[in-house]
Amino acid sequence: MRLIVVLFLSICFVSCKTEVKIDSQSQDITNETITKNINNTLDSWHKAAAEANFNNYFSLMTNDGVFIGTDATENWQNEAFKAFSKPYFDKGKAWSFTAVNRNIYIYDNQKIAWFDELLDTQMKLCRGSGILKLENNKWKVAHYVLSITIPNDNVSEVVKMKAVFDSTYTKKLLFKN
């Protein structure tokens, strides 16, 4: 009887292992689907801003989401970003970002992803990058960084333009700590 139980359990373990192998083979399809869902989330997020749809925009961010803007002072936790953004959305004119190129990277657990994108904006080409989390089977922006791109040939000119502000702000931050 023990031999039969051992054989039965061995067969069960082998079949479970086979099922896991089948699941891992379908991971490529799942990653394609995840990438498509993430693209849809990011496109919808940008569209909600362009349409000044406050609720849709912030429903696509995690409750503890962070938005880092182009200005050195712009590091907003979600509630502060909502307060800053609300007047723009209320006026019916937020911002309009259209992705012209995007790269998505999915973490092994398939619940976290990160991305970078080039954006066509009112500020011309910008770069966005961030992290998304899967929450209740929906991808949400957890952290976003917006940067204005600067051609390498123009960096020294831009550095000169922002030197006074950067120096003052750096001293303020160092003094604060």
CATH of the domain at 122: 3.10.450.50
Count of structural domains within the chain: 1
Residue 156 lies in a domain: no
Residue 88 lies in a domain: yes
Residues 6+ apart with CB under 8 A from 130: 114, 115, 141, 142, 143, 144, 145
Tens of pLDDT along 91-125?
998 999 999 999 999 999 999 999 999 999 999 99
Note down the domain range covering 37. Answer: 28-149
- Main-chain phi, psi angles of 67, to 5 degrees: -125, 120
Q: Is 73 helix (H, G, I), strand (E, B) or coil?
A: coil
- In the chain, the amino acid numbered 43 is D
Model pTM?
Answer: 0.81
Residues of the chain with pLDDT under 70: 1-29
Residue 131 lies in a domain: yes
